[in-house]
Structure 1
Amino acid sequence: MRVGTGVDAHRFGPGRPLMLGTVHVAHDEGLVGHSDGDAIAHAVCDALLAASGQPDIGAVFPPGAPEWEGASGESLLRVVLDRVAAAGFTVVNAHAVAVCERPRLAPYREEMERAMSAIAGAPVTVHATTTDGLGALGRGEGVACTAVALLEQR
C-alpha cells in the first residue's frame, strides 16, 4: 500500500467555464490555468502520481506545453490513471478537500464523486470548506484543493 498527497490552486478569471471534480459548476467565472484549471481533479492527479512514485503533475503536464492547453481535468485524470496502472498499482480510494468561499460546492459534491469514482474505478470522495473570509481564498479569488490517494501494488 502506498499513500500520496496533492495540492492545487487556481484563481478565478472571466470567460471560462468553471470545472471542478470533472463537473461543470454554475458560476460567473472559471479558473485560470493552462488546462481547464480543475483544482479538484488536479489535486487528485497529483496525489495519485505521488503515491505511485512518479513526478508531480507539473512535470507530467508541463505548463505551456501545447498538447495540454485547455485539457480537461477528466483527460488529465485518465492519463494519470494509465500511468498508475503501468507502474503496477490500483487505486484503493482518493479523497479531496476543496477550499473556497464561492461557489457553494455542496450541490455538486455527489456528482463530482460519481464522475471521478467512475474514472478511477475506485471511491473518490470530495469535501468542501471555506476559510471564513481569511486571505485570498476568503476574498473569493479562487479555489484551492488538497487530496490524498491510497494505492495498492498489484
Structure 2
Amino acid sequence: MKIRVGFGYDVHQLQPDLPFWLGGIEVPHTHGALGHSDADVLIHVICDALLGAANLRDIGFHFPDTDPQYKGIDSKKLLAETMRILRAKGYEVSNIDSTICLEKPKVNPHIPAMQRTLAEVMGVGEDDISIKATTTEKLGFVGRQEGVAAYATVLIYQVA
C-alpha cells in the first residue's frame, strides 16, 4: 500500500464585524477572518495538505483568488471538491492532525462541532480528524490578535 504525507499552513488577517468561519462552523467573535472566500483557515490548510500529499499542487492552484466564482464561497465546498479530486486520483484519507493558533476566542468548546462538520463533508470518521488549538502567548500577529494561523498534517493512502 502506498502512503503519503502532506502539510498545510495558512494565515488570515482578522477584521472587526466579519463572520468568523473555522472548521466549517461559524464561531461567535467580534472579528472574522478576511479573505477571498469565507476565509476558513482550518479548511484551507486541510485542503492544502491533502492536495500536497497527492502531489496535486495547492489550494490556490485549484481555487484561485482571482476567480470571481470563489468570491465569498463556503470553504466546505472547496473541501468537498478537494476530496473529489483526491479520490479521483485513487487516494483516501487515513487521518488529519491540525493546530489552530489564535488568542481569542477560545476554540476548544467548538472542536467537536468542527470535527463533526469536517467528517461529514469529507466522508471520513470524526476520529480521523484531530483539531488542537493554542495561543502564541501574546507574541507576533496572532498574539496581537491581528490574525489567525493554522497548520495541518495529513496521511493519505492509495486505494488498491
- For 2:80 and 2:122, the matched residues in 1 are separated by 8
Displaced runs of 4 or more, over 4 A = none
- For 1:11 and 1:152, the matched residues in 2 are separated by 34
Q: How does 1:39-58 map to 2 (within 5 A)?
A: 39-58=41-60
- For 1:127 and 1:141, the matched residues in 2 are separated by 20
Number of aligned residue pairs: give it.
Answer: 154
- For 1:41 and 1:80, the matched residues in 2 are separated by 10
Shift of 1:55: 1.0
Give the match for residue 146 of structure 2: 141
Q: How does 1:1-150 map to 2 (within 5 A)?
A: 1-122=3-124, 123-150=128-155
Which ranges in structure 2 are unaligned for 5 or more consecutive residues? Answer: none
Aligned letter for 2:11?
A
RMSD of aligned C-alpha atoms?
0.9
Partner-residue secondary structure (3-state), 1:125: strand
- For 1:40 and 1:50, the matched residues in 2 are separated by 15
Shift of 1:64: 2.2
Shift of 1:90: 0.7
Which ranges in structure 1 are unaligned for 5 or more consecutive residues? Answer: none
Aligned letter for 1:94?
I
Aligned letter for 2:140?
G
TM-score, normalised to structure 1's length? 0.97
Give the match for residue 156 of structure 2: 151
Partner-residue secondary structure (3-state), 2:109: helix
- For 2:60 and 2:141, the matched residues in 1 are separated by 23
Query: What is the percent sequence identity of the aligned residues?
Result: 38
- For 2:97 and 2:74, the matched residues in 1 are separated by 19
- For 2:138 and 2:112, the matched residues in 1 are separated by 25
Partner-residue secondary structure (3-state), 1:104: coil
- For 1:119 and 1:60, the matched residues in 2 are separated by 18
Post-superposition Cα deviations, 1:8-32, rounded to whole Å, max 9, x if no partner, equal 1101113321000001100012100
